[in-house]
Amino acid sequence: MRRLLTTLVILLVVLVAGMSALVLLVNPNDFRGYMIKKVEQSSGYHLTLEGDLRWHVWPQLSILAGRMTLTAPGAAAPAVSADNMRLDVKLLPLLSHQLYVKQVMLKNAVIRLTPDSAEQNQPDAPIAPGGNQADDGSGSLWKFDIDNLRVVDSLLIWQRANNEQINVRDINLTLQQNDKHQAQIELSSRVNRDQRDLSFNLAANLDLQQFPRQIGAQVTQFSYQLEGADILAGAIKGEGSVQAVYQQASQQIVLSQLMLSANDSQLTGSASAQFGPVPAYTLDLSATQLNLDALSGWQTKTPDEEKLPPPVTASPVIANQADDPQQNLQVLRDFNAQLKLKADQVTYRGMSINQLAVQASNQQGLMTVTTLSGKLASGDFSLPGSMDARTDKPLIKLQPQLRQIELGEVLKAFDMPSALTGTFNMQGDFERRPSQCQGFRTSLARNGGAVHAECATSWFEYSTAYPASRGA
């Protein structure tokens, strides 16, 4: 036993002495030019390291660097900058004066995905002949071997074109990859915007064999929580999983086998997004249960609240219709989209909607609802239509079909007096600007016993009056 302990002590002393000698004999600054050259050869990005490089021996042999930046060719701002960088290296390759990095750790990093950090074409750059090197399968981006990557307490700034910046804060990321370019990633972060806070945790397996032309990901674990302004007190939280594939050539990401929960609601389906001057989005979702009340925080009024007279609120003074936030729909002009949704049971404002089917599209401001149907209040409804938001004065067209709808239940759901009861059937055409038919609910609530509703259009006219004796 004593010989074994003696042998272990001798080995430990030799190891410590060897590492000490190595640290004294090998200057880490000798690798500065090598690292800069390797990064530029493999990716085209320019690496800068400020200050001297120094050794850190325990608990892992590492090279410590001060502030670093990584800049794309021709970019005005660095794509990555960090206050501190640590390179965990292997010991044996240093004996032959070679650098093999096992792990890169960045702390307090700022990652920019913005127009000013993107690669810019140089006017004097040579044009590559046909058979572009970037299209071959050599995988040149993997020549500088990195087994592990860690990003701690960092920030991601994301912006497309002239859109508003989105800041993803408190990023903690761990990425491990093997020699087959298969990687595992763990990520936690939060996004704060418009007084709302979204925090999430993610674990995924990555397929990087064709990086950067294609990236495959299987998200095995995803959890999130959304809280803040206009969010119910208990927050919106849930879990999910998905398979994703990103294609660089087409700038397209495809999501399949999507499963997402939000409180007691469950969604499954697929989605895709194609980026470009006019992004295009596609959603195909289905749900067995979709509780919109639980997501919005809507609650049924108590009997005491129902007895209170409705508040009289003056209409806002709008100098120009284009200044009305309800009509400011210019965001619809910036993208194209396709939506399909089927839900077995939907809860909305206390009403139960069964067999809901939605099919809609948006073409740069021309939104078309081909199908919006379901069963509601002992009847069924269909509300196809369109909205043209390509001008400052949106135009709405509807072709409503209501059959055997219990009107009292619908009025109660929208906090209106139950002055109208019985089943309701309607079929017609409706065409109007949003501001030209706003008086129905207001006059219905203010008159109480004497109800008068009027909505006139060029195709459809409806006018009815009921005395107080016919009220609730």
d(CA 368, CA 359): 9
Which residues are CB-contacts of 99 (< 8 A; sequence separation ≥ 6)? 31, 34, 35, 89, 93
φ/ψ (deg, to 5) at 212:
-95, 5
d(CA 108, CA 348): 44
Q: What is the pLDDT of residue 322?
A: 43
- Per-residue DSSP letter, 310: P
Q: What is the pLDDT of residues 268-319, one digit of tens each?
A: 999 999 988 899 999 999 999 999 988 887 776 655 555 555 444 344 444 4
What's the mean pLDDT when you consider all of the chain?
Answer: 79
Q: To which H or E segment does residue 9 belong?
A: helix 2-25
Q: To which H or E segment does residue 146 belong?
A: strand 146-158
Q: What is the pLDDT of residue 131?
A: 46
d(CA 114, CA 77): 9
Are 164 and 157 contacting, i.e. CB atoms less than 8 angstroms apart?
no
d(CA 379, CA 408): 13
d(CA 447, CA 440): 11
With cut-offs at 50, 70 and 90, classify the pLDDT of residue 400: very high
Which residues is 358 bridged to in the sheet?
A: 341, 372
CB atoms within 10 A of CB 398: 19
Are 208 and 181 contacting, i.e. CB atoms less than 8 angstroms apart?
yes
Q: Is the pLDDT of residue 246 over 90?
A: yes
With cut-offs at 50, 70 and 90, classify the pLDDT of residue 226: very high
d(CA 343, CA 78): 46
Q: Is the pLDDT of residue 207 over 80?
A: yes
Which residues is 228 bridged to in the sheet?
A: 196
Average pLDDT over residues 413-441: 74
Pair of tokens at residue 71: 């800049």
d(CA 16, CA 11): 9
Pair of tokens at residue 425: 């059937």
Are 102 and 88 contacting, i.e. CB atoms less than 8 angstroms apart?
yes
Choose the most confident range, by mean pLDDT, from 147-151, 170-174, 179-183: 170-174
Average pLDDT over residues 365-391: 93
| This model's pTM is above 0.75 | no
- Per-residue DSSP letter, 140: G
